[in-house]
Amino acid sequence: MRLVNRTFDELRPGECAQLRRLITPDDLYVFAASSGNYNPMNLPNGDLDGDGKPEQMAAGMFIASLVSAVLGTHLPGPGTRLQHQTLTFHAVAHAGDDLLCQVTVLDKHPDGTVRLKTEVTRPADAALILTGEATVLAPQIRFDRDDLHIPGLIVQRHRHFDALIDRARPLPALPTAVVCPDDANSLGGALLAATQSIITPILIGHADAIHAAARALRADLSGMEIIDVPGDDVAAAAMACQLVHEGRALAVMKGHLHTDDLLRPMVDRDRGLRVGRKFTHVFLMDVPGLPEPVMVTDAAINIAPDLMTKVDIIQNAINLALSLGMDPRVGVLSAVETVNPAIQSSIDAALLSKMAERGQIKGGQVEGPLAMDNAVDMAAARTKGLTGGVAGRANILVVPGIDSGNMLAKQLAYISHAEGAGLVLGAKVPVILNSRSDSPVARLASCAVAALHHFAGKA
């Protein structure tokens, strides 16, 4: 980034400089975090008047900061010190508005100060947003450098999940068998999805424990179906399978029980939920800063998948991606991006890539082996000379085994501040698989993904 200033001696009345800026929702979050101004009308998700529509109004001092940006970087530029400023606001601006800030030199004074006219407009409708004047102490020393580096900022929000939840709300509520929702997290997640009209929960397990969890949450279960299963957790999971076969449940959601106990009745050959492919698990990760969600598979079920299990892992993930409107680009991960006979994952990756070419895996692009860096970073892919539609752009990451998958998903969650929606695929209905540490957003997003996946299959 190159910065050049105009010294006091160089400035002339009538000189002007402009800055054009599109206000984004992230700008509102950044300004709120840096200023401490949490006025709901100045936040992307704030609804001050209760009409269901966020105001998304840019704070006045955020608009004024555009003037500061022109003064400090363009005219007069680096070295400028603000001494006095007047501001008059004529109209409001919102996220999505494209604004033009212009600063014009009015006059100079012997004490080294310069008076400037300031103005912010919205060119789209010629609206005048702000007018005023600024008096600055102009720089005396020439500045011309291109070695200024500003750290980038990533807003820790999950806009991809927000969009998926918004898409799921208009769909019919998905009847969902919630197995053993007898703690605050599991019951709270199901009730949250119900309040958003994404699922209709059928609560299965020890009724007394479910009601106790509801009392702890101060939640009202009136009108909600509760099926008392006095046996163990496996018996509750078996009841969920029965509801699916009866057509009463179109999805299953994990509550407060071990994953093995949830899945054991589902893999039963006679009364389970098998439909052909192996059960596989997908984490759909919303990673702040990335342009789209990323899938990690398999991170919870298949411990050391062989080649044909990986085929099912990939096909299930591709089908999910298609149901969510994604363009499936599958990167099959290994430690290297070339085939090494000593590394089995690299051999499997090459075979899977060739199988996709031959139509044995359908619906998406599959490339491998790819190392993590050149799977998700275009610069790294180019450095290694990798071409094609996946390298550097993978949105489905297929890991060698459960160890690497679980580590990758948790690294994204705890280091990169991602949220993860968990789903088991390959069953007769989507199985929502949350961990005990999942946030309410992750649980809600998991339900939304299940609903979108189910209804896409019915389209």
pLDDT at residue 458, rounded to an integer: 58
Q: What is the pLDDT of residues 353-400, one digit of tens each?
A: 999 999 999 999 999 999 999 999 999 999 999 988 999 999 999 999
Q: Are 165 and 444 in contact (CB under 8 A)?
A: yes
Return d(Cα 413, Cα 285) in angstroms, integer: 8
Q: Are 427 and 274 in contact (CB under 8 A)?
A: yes
**Domain tally, the chain:** 2
Final residue of a structural domain among 112, 145, 178: 145
Residue 183 within a domain: no
The last residue of a domain, from among 85, 110, 145: 145
CA 193, chain centre distance (Å): 18
Q: Is 197 left (phi over 0), alpha (psi -120 to 50) or beta?
A: left
* Residue 310 belongs to some domain of the structure: yes
Judge contact between 254 and 225, C-beta under 8 A: no
Whether 422 maps to a domain, the answer reads: yes
For CA atoms 146, 149, 150, 153, give the dihedral sign.
positive
Three-state DSSP class for residue 38: coil
User: What DSSP state is assigned to residue 436?
Assistant: T
Is 370 among the domain residues? yes
| CATH of residue 413 | 3.40.718.10
The CATH number covering residue 57 comes to 3.10.129.10
For 257-290, what is each residue's pLDDT tens digit?
A: 999 999 999 999 889 998 888 999 999 999 988 8
Place of tokens 């009866």: 246
DSSP per-residue letters across 254-316: E-SS-HHHHHTGGG-TTTS-B-SSPPEEEEEEE-TT-SS-EEEE-SSS-SS--HHHHHHHHHH
298-317 per-position pLDDT tens digit: 999 999 999 999 999 999 99
Is residue 122 included in any domain, yes or no? yes
**pLDDT per residue over 197-217, tens digit each?**
999 999 999 999 999 999 999
Q: Which residues of 315-354 are buried (b: 16+ CB within 10 A; e: fewer)?
A: bbbbbbbbbbebebbbbbbbebbeeeeebebbbbbbbbbe
CA distance to 7, 35, 147, 319, per residue, from 330 (Å): 55, 42, 38, 12
Q: Which of 256, 233, 285, 260 is nearest to 185 (CA)?
A: 256
Range of the domain at 29: 3-145
Last residue of a domain, one of 104, 119, 145: 145
Residue 454 included in any domain: no
Q: Is 282 exposed, middle or buried (0-12, 13-18, 19+ CB in 10 A)?
A: buried
Q: Is the pLDDT of residue 185 over 80?
A: yes
Residue 95 maps to a domain = yes
pTM: 0.78
Which three-class secondary structure state does DSSP give residue 77? coil
Q: Is the pLDDT of residue 114 over 70?
A: yes
Whether 179 maps to a domain, the answer reads no
User: Can you name the residues that pair with 133 across neighbouring β-strands?
Assistant: 86, 117
Where is mean pLDDT largest: 30-34, 115-119, 385-389? 115-119
